[in-house]
Structure formats: structure tokens, C-alpha cells
Structure 1
């Protein structure tokens, strides 16, 4: 493998030490620079000539990506992509518009310019709007990458009360960020909610609200023809089994949760009034 392929396989720039551990000595590095195969972006760091990733930007700034800017590097759920670059840079100055975070206190990513997962989540909990932080934490906790107990232990004191309140919204299992957001909406409305309930003849449903309304949160996969056919069958089986069914897609769950909630409440109210009785 040549140096260019090595950098491409790692997803971004590398240090002289990293290249050395991969078997590239200083002579080969210098030769690659002279040939234009790689470029030196700052002392001790090299990248591909046309690379424009946030990893290169972080290396050039001498910092580590964190908060929502580090979420893609760890494969974490996000509601919206980072509009600004979030970095840990120590005492260095950064261009206007970047967001700087405090020092990193946990082991960083082994080769990418990413703060450690613990720091990334702690920074997100302190920095981002509640639901944006929640989906990142839910993803990491749900995969078993980190524990709620560990995060709580790092967020003591009055100044972290808001961050701890976000942790209270994390659920044991969520198959998508839509489930996390819908659950938060229902629970805060005071509804009695059961998740991932097995319904005879139907299978597992996302939510059973007040023991009578099935709520399903549908991502893009539910638009595929085979899934549409399957969902239609599940809807019919649910109604035959005595349950009411509502399905909500990404736009309502993420951008208009109040409309989703209003429909659930209206259906429950109609049922209370006997609208669905024989």
C-alpha cells in the first residue's frame, strides 16, 4: 500500500508518527510530498492534496472535532448536520463562527482527529438543544458504547442539571431516532406508553398508547413497495384485533410533533366518547 492509499483508508490526514507505525519512513514521506502525492498541512501532519474534509480542517487548526461535528465519525444519530465546526483546541484561537469546547478529559479516537466519545457526548449535552443531544446519547447508549451511569457520574453539580435531565429521556431500546422523539412527546404529554409490544397476529409494534392505540414511526424503509404491503397487512390485523392504528413519518415526528400528538389525543378522545364502539 502506498501513502495515498493509506491516507484514504484512514479517512483523513495522518501524523508523521502514524505514518511511521504504518511502515512509511521519513524518506518515503518526503518523496511523496515532492511528487505531490501528499501535502504537508502543518508540522508533522500530511493529507491528500484535494482533501477538504472536516478532519483536515481540524488537523490544520490543531484541534479535535467534538459535539455534533464528531457525530458522523462515531456513527451517531443526528437531527441536523453541524452548521458550525465544534472543536477542542485548548488555548488556540479559532476563526469566527467556530464553536470551541473545554479541554478533553477522556481518551481520544485512536487515529482520527476526534475527541473521545465520552467528551463528545458531554459536550453535546452541555451545548446542543435538548432533542439534538438526546438522539446522540440514545444512539451511543443503545449500542452499548457507553453507559448512562458513566455519563451521570461526569455531570454532577447544579450547572449540569439540564444535561442530566436529557439523560432521563434515554430509553432502554430505540430502533431509530424517530422512536426516541415520539416517546419523548408522548411521555411529556402524560400518556401511558408501552414500547415494542408484541401484538398477537401483528407482531412487535413501536408504541401502544393507553393500551388501545398502536403508533408506528415510519422511516424511509417503509416507503419501499414490499414494506408498504407488509405494513398494510399489519394495519388490517391490528384493527381486526381491536386496536386503533396511527402511522407517522419523519416530517411529523421531527418537525411537527405537536401535530402528531394532537392526532393521538383526538383519537383517544373519540374512543372515550364511544366513536369506535359497536
Structure 2
């Protein structure tokens, strides 16, 4: 492996210490600098000359990516990419174009200029709107990478009440961020919700509301032809089994949750009045 390939495997940047541990000494670094394949970011930190990514920016600013900017590094769910850098810069002043967070308290990412997962989530809980923080936490908790008890233990006191309230919305299992957000909308509307219910002849459904209405949340894969056919068969089986069915996609759940809830409530009201009975 040459130095450029190693840098690419590390997100395009590395410190001299990291290069040294990988077997690249001063001579190899100087050769790469001389032929222009590698550039010095600042003292003892190196990257690709034309790189303008977040890792390069974090090293230039001598900080660590955190909060929403660190979500891609850990593969966390997000509703939208970060528009500005979220950084931990210690006691130094962060650039005005970035969002500065408090100092990091836990071990950082082993090789990327990224804060540790615990810091990333705590910062997100303090910084982001409720649903944006929720999907990040739900993803990490659902994969078993961090526990709710750990996060609650780091968020004691009155000033952390809002952050703790987001943790209360995390559910035991969610297969997509759409399930998380739909669950919040249904529960806050006062609906009786059961998740991941197994229905004979249908299989597992995302939600069973008031024990009569199946609600499915469909991500992008549900637009694929084979999946569309499968979903239709599941719809038919649900109706034959005596259930009503509604399906909602990304735009419905993320951008118009209250319209979705209004439709669910309207269908339930019609069911209560006997409109779907012979």
C-alpha cells in the first residue's frame, strides 16, 4: 500500500503519527510532498492537495467533527446533511461559519478527526431540533452502539431536561427513521399504537393502530418493481384479514406528519361510524 492509498482509506487525511504507525516514515512523506500527491495541511498533518471535505477542514481548524457533521462517519440516520461544520475546538475560538460545541469528554474516533460517538450524540441532543437528534440517537441505540442509560447518566440536571425528553421518544426497535418519526406523530396524537405486529397471512407490519388500521412507512426500496408487487399482495391480504391499510412515504412522514395523522384519524372515525362494515 502506498501513502495515497492509505490516506484514501482514512478519509483523505492523517497525522504524521498515524502515518508512522502505518509504516510511512519521514522519507516517504517527503517524496509524496515533492511529487505533489500529498499536501501538508498544517504541522504534522497531511492530506490530498485538492481535498475540500469536512475531514480536511477539521484538521485545518485543529478540531474534531461532531454533532450532525460527524453523523456520516458513524453511519447514523439523518434527515438532511449538515450545512455548516459542527466542531469541537477545545478552548480555541471556532470560525464564525461553523457551529462550536463544548469540549469532548470521551475517546475520539480512532483515526478520523471526529469526536467519539458519545460526544457526538450528546452534542446533537443539545444542538439539533428534536426529530433530527432523535433519529441519530435511535440509530446508534438500535444498533447497540450506546445505551439510553449511559446517555441519561450524562444528561442530568434541569438544563438537560430537553435533551432527556428526546431520549424518551426512542423506541426498542426501528427499521428506518420513518418508523421513528411516524411513531412520534401517532403517539402525540393520542392514538393506541402497536409496532411490528405479526398478522397471519400478511407478516409483520410497521404499525397497527387502534387494532384495526395497518400503517406502513415506505422508504425508497418500496418503489422498486418487485417490492411494489409484494406490498400490493400484503395490502390485499390485510384487507382480506379484516384490516384497513394506509401507506406513507418519506415526504409524508418527514415533511407532512400532521397531514398523515389527520388522514389516519379520519379513517379511524369512519371505521367507528361503521362506514367499512357491510
Pairwise TM-score range, normalised by the shorter structure: over 0.9
The alignment status of 1:119 with 2:91, answered yes or no, reads no
* Partner of residue 107, structure 2: 107
* Partner of residue 11, structure 1: 11
* Partner of residue 270, structure 1: 270
Give the distance between the partners of 1:244 and 1:107, measured in 2 at CA: 49
Pairwise CA distance, 1:35 = 1.4
* Partner of residue 129, structure 2: 129
* Partner of residue 166, structure 1: 166
The alignment status of 1:140 with 2:140, answered yes or no, reads yes
Give the distance between the partners of 2:226 and 2:195, measured in 1 at CA: 24
Query: Could you tell me whether the CA contact under 8 Å between 2:87 and 2:94 is conserved in 1?
Result: no
Taking structure 2 as the reference length, what is the TM-score of the superposition?
0.99
Give the distance between the partners of 2:85 and 2:42, measured in 1 at CA: 19
Give the distance between the partners of 1:17 and 1:96, measured in 2 at CA: 30
- The DSSP-based 3-state class of the residue aligned with 1:114 is coil
* Partner of residue 68, structure 1: 68
The alignment status of 1:44 with 2:66, answered yes or no, reads no
Give the distance between the partners of 1:137 and 1:272, measured in 2 at CA: 37
Query: Could you tell me whether the CA contact under 8 Å between 1:186 and 1:261 is conserved in 2?
Result: yes
* Partner of residue 256, structure 1: 256
Give the distance between the partners of 2:193 and 2:237, measured in 1 at CA: 21
- The DSSP-based 3-state class of the residue aligned with 1:95 is coil
Give the distance between the partners of 2:186 and 2:253, measured in 1 at CA: 11
Deviation string, structure 1 residues 84-118 (Cα, Å, up to 9, x no partner): 11000012223222100000000000000000000
Give the distance between the partners of 1:26 and 1:92, measured in 2 at CA: 29
Structure 2 residues without counterparts, runs of 5 or longer: none
Taking structure 1 as the reference length, what is the TM-score of the superposition?
0.99
- The DSSP-based 3-state class of the residue aligned with 1:216 is strand
Pairwise CA distance, 1:248 = 0.3
* Structure 1 segments (4+ residues) deviating >4 Å: none
Query: Could you tell me whether the CA contact under 8 Å between 1:131 and 1:181 is conserved in 2?
Result: yes
Give the distance between the partners of 1:197 and 1:74, measured in 2 at CA: 30
* Partner of residue 188, structure 1: 188
Number of aligned positions between the proteins: 278
Structure 1 residues without counterparts, runs of 5 or longer: none
Give the distance between the partners of 2:246 and 2:35, measured in 1 at CA: 62
- The DSSP-based 3-state class of the residue aligned with 2:84 is coil
Query: Could you tell me whether the CA contact under 8 Å between 1:12 and 1:112 is conserved in 2?
Result: no
The farther-off stretch of 91-100 and 155-164 is 91-100
